[in-house]
Structure 1
Amino acid sequence: NKGQLLHEFNLGDAAMHAAHQKEMLQMQASGMLTATGMGKMDHGAMGHGDMAGMKHDDPNSVLVEPGKTAELTWTFTKATGLEFACNIPGHYQAGMVGKLTVSQ
């Protein structure tokens, strides 16, 4: 990530990205997700009990902080069509999404 903002690389279909974007918005609203990284929050103490277990550790996704690199290894077992995207709030909508076609 050569930029100044946090980015994400996430593999999934359009429906998965839409659901994940909602989670990322909740994380941002709670202060857990900032423009440059992941913060530490006590959600129970803040009245966010429903988010107490929320974290960003999906196997199909990596967060890449400014100036850092990350690696995602995924084994495809069948032909499929997916998207790769950044689901940081506003990034997908700004065009940080692409198609991935896996053929056998």
Structure 2
Amino acid sequence: MNHRRTLLKAASAALLAAAAGVRAHGDAEHAQHAQHAPAPKEQHDWGVAGDAQAVARTIEVRMGDDMRFTPARIDLRLGETVRFVAVNDGRLMHEFVIGTRRSNEAHAAMMLKAPGMEHDEPYMAHVPPGRRGEIVWRFNRAGQFEFACLIAGHYQAGMVGAIHVRA
């Protein structure tokens, strides 16, 4: 019995030591790679995070407590990289989130269930009252997309705008 316990303790200690060594190696090596390699940009149905140096134009979008965006429709060209400046003119927190109707509806439903959920993606800006947020986005797919405020209840109140990307 003592032999079995000793063997079990030795095996456990060996596994812990090996795991610590792998973790230490991984952290240093991955940190070094992270300093030199840009993070890959994730392709979405509505495009990809843009490069600030490639911005073709800047579009200011104003958000208010009337649950509306101004402008409510934006027309773009396929391949265009845009800097969106989302300005919150209201007293409530608002968001500017780019997506498809389906993705925004799903996200809005999730926010109703978990209104305090924190999240951050390159296609969204959380904008406190009286502040502004920016998104740089490249529209590399043609189609009909949306920008919306997905704060619980805002999307359902009509806080959504249209993006039309033509080929």
The two structures share one fold, judged by TM-score above 0.5: yes
Deviation at 1:64, TM superposition (A): 0.5
- Number of the residue aligned with 1:2: 89
Whether 1:72 aligns to 2:159 is: no
Deviation at 1:102, TM superposition (A): 0.6
Q: Secondary structure at the match of 2:133?
A: coil
- Number of the residue aligned with 1:83: 146
- In structure 1, C-alpha distance between the alignment counterparts of 2:130 and 2:148, rounded to whole Å: 19
Deviation at 1:24, TM superposition (A): 1.8
- Give the gaps of 5 or more residues in structure 2: 1-87
Q: Do the aligned residues in 1 keep the contact of 2:145 with 2:163 (CA within 8 Å)? A: yes
| Structure with the higher fraction of residues in strand conformation | 2
Larger Rg: 2
- Number of the residue aligned with 2:111: 24
- In structure 1, C-alpha distance between the alignment counterparts of 2:107 and 2:133, rounded to whole Å: 19
Q: Do the aligned residues in 1 keep the contact of 2:104 with 2:150 (CA within 8 Å)? A: yes
Q: Which of structures 1 and 2 has the larger relative contact order (alpha carbons within 8 angstroms, sep 6+)?
A: 1
- Give the gaps of 5 or more residues in structure 1: 34-53
Deviation at 1:74, TM superposition (A): 0.5
What do you get for the CA RMSD once the two structures are aligned?
Answer: 1.5
Write the deviation string for residues 22-44 of structure 1: whole angstroms up to 9, x where unpaired.
Answer: 3322332xxxx3xxxxxxxxxxx
- In structure 2, C-alpha distance between the alignment counterparts of 1:88 and 1:94, rounded to whole Å: 10
What's the TM-score once normalised by structure 2's chain length?
0.44
What's the TM-score once normalised by structure 1's chain length?
0.69
Identical counterparts, % of pairs: 46
- In structure 1, C-alpha distance between the alignment counterparts of 2:151 and 2:118, rounded to whole Å: 14
Write the deviation string for residues 22-79 of structure 1: whole angstroms up to 9, x where unpaired.
Answer: 3322332xxxx3xxxxxxxxxxxxxxxxxxxx63112211111111100011101121
After TM superposition, where is structure 1 displaced by more than 6 Å over at least 4 residues in a row? none
Q: Secondary structure at the match of 2:130?
A: coil
Aligned residues: 80
Structure 2: which amino acid aligns with 1:81? Answer: Q
Whether 1:102 aligns to 2:161 is: no
